[in-house]
Structure 1
Amino acid sequence: MQITEKFVFCPICGSSHFKTESEKSKKCDNCGFEYFVNPASSNVAFILDDNGRLLVERRLREPAKGTLDLPGGFADAEETAEEGVIREVKEETGLDISKAQYLFSLPNTYRYSGIDIPTLDLFFLCKADDTTMLRAGDDAAECFWCDIDDIHTELFGLSSIRHGLSLFIDMLKNGQLP
């Protein structure tokens, strides 16, 4: 279900004349307010240890509970994407990130409470100086290091993560990482 299907009444004046204006907006015929569906910012961390292994998580919650994932999550209001990925890594893994370098972004849809939320997933290469503090927290059931050659993208539950992981592995193998 698209998010705009849930919006029946104008959030400004309460009118039921809140109609689809375009594929990405609804407009109130009563007060003129127009709501645009813009993506939420989500951040993903690629963290390699000193042996070149990638930090992987197992999802604690839906969607895709029990499948593999990478550390990350939604940005909070008033924080940069870099601050968001650093915060999410700390919450989910206990690791302190000393550097977060943007790599690429992918559009995505995140199903939450039966509604498809458009997202823009920003992928970062992150550096953790001390990996001994690794512990699962927040949305992670477990965290572990995985050799790149042992990564099977089909075991990752979210399509954007699978796609981003494939791009990252190609960049790594082709020496294209910063």
Structure 2
Amino acid sequence: MTSRLSFFKFCPHCGSARFVDNDFKSRHCLDCGFVYYINPSAATAAFVVDGDGRMLVVRRKLDPAKGTLDLPGGFSDVGESLEEGIAREVMEETGLEVSDPRFLFSLPNDYLYSGFHVPTLDSFFLCRTRNATAVHAADDAASAEWVDIGSVRAELFGLASVRKAVTEFLRNTSKYLKK
């Protein structure tokens, strides 16, 4: 397997081609001494549930895993907290406002984007909404729908970390839904 760092041929500080592997997570410039570390990007996903025992799922409009089920979520923006990021992502993809997102757990992930494997750290949140009927698919969600939690099937989720998270959530639903 090719190192993720092999995509970085030149030092981002001085432009030198003498930009070499330092270790498994960094490259070092032999000319200016700059060291670049590849660290995970912050990503979020929401278990949005309503008072009727339903969970919100979306269908992916784009690759990777186009056409499969997903949870609303995405990458956090620079200057944004995870909580702000998940609220923004849920709004962008479903039109729903969420309040007081509660962190549940995190999982490491490898996200293929434009031919590049982006290491991510996916943070999963429990979210509630007061306007469940206002749901509509937007942004990179092809569809959005409420599904009874008891009928959710983890194997239908296309991204490995989300599939693993849904499995964990379903296994421990009563624990996660406690207030």
1:107 & 1:175 partners in 2: Cα distance? 20
Q: Secondary structure at the match of 1:91?
A: helix
In structure 2, what is the Cα distance between the partners aligned to 1:175 and 1:44? Answer: 15
Is the contact between residue 43 and residue 74 of structure 2 (CA under 8 Å) also seen in structure 1? yes
The aligned counterpart of 1:66 is 67
1:52 is matched with 53
Q: Distance in 2 between matches of 1:174 and 1:76?
A: 30
Deviation at 1:19, TM superposition (A): 0.3
| Separation of aligned partners in 1, 2:57 and 2:5 | 34
Q: Which residue of 2 aligns with 1:136?
A: 137
Gaps in structure 2 of 5+ consecutive residues:
none
CA 1:21/1:84 → structure 2, altered by over 3 Å: closer, same or farther? same
Q: Secondary structure at the match of 1:4?
A: helix
1:69, 1:156 within 8 Å by CA — same for their partners in 2? yes
Match of 2:121 in 1: 120
Please name the residue that 1:172 is paired with: 173
Alignment partner, residue 105 of structure 2: 104
Would you say the 8 A contact 2:108–2:120 is kept in 1? yes
Report the CA distance shift for 1:153/1:174 in structure 2 as closer, same or farther (over 3 A). Answer: same
Q: Percent identity?
A: 49
In structure 2, the CA distance between the partners of 1:23 and 1:33, relative to structure 1 (3 Å rule), is same
CA apart distance, 1:160: 0.4
What secondary structure is seen at the aligned counterpart in 1 of 2:117?
Answer: strand
**TM-score, normalized by length of structure 2?**
0.96
Give the Cα–Cα distance (whole angstroms) in 2 for the partners of residues 72 and 62 of structure 1.
15
One-letter amino acid matched to 2:120: T
Secondary structure, counterpart of 2:99 in structure 1: strand
Give the partner amino acid of 2:55.
Answer: L
**1:14-29 mapped onto 2 (5 Å cutoff):** 14-29=15-30
Instruction: State the Cα deviation string for residues 87-140 of structure 1 (Å, max 9, x = none).
Output: 000000000112201111000000111111000000000011111110000010
**Corresponding residue for residue 31 of structure 1:** 32
Q: In the aligned structure 2, how far is the partner of 1:17 from the partner of 1:177?
A: 55
Number of residue pairs aligned between Structure 1 and Structure 2:
178
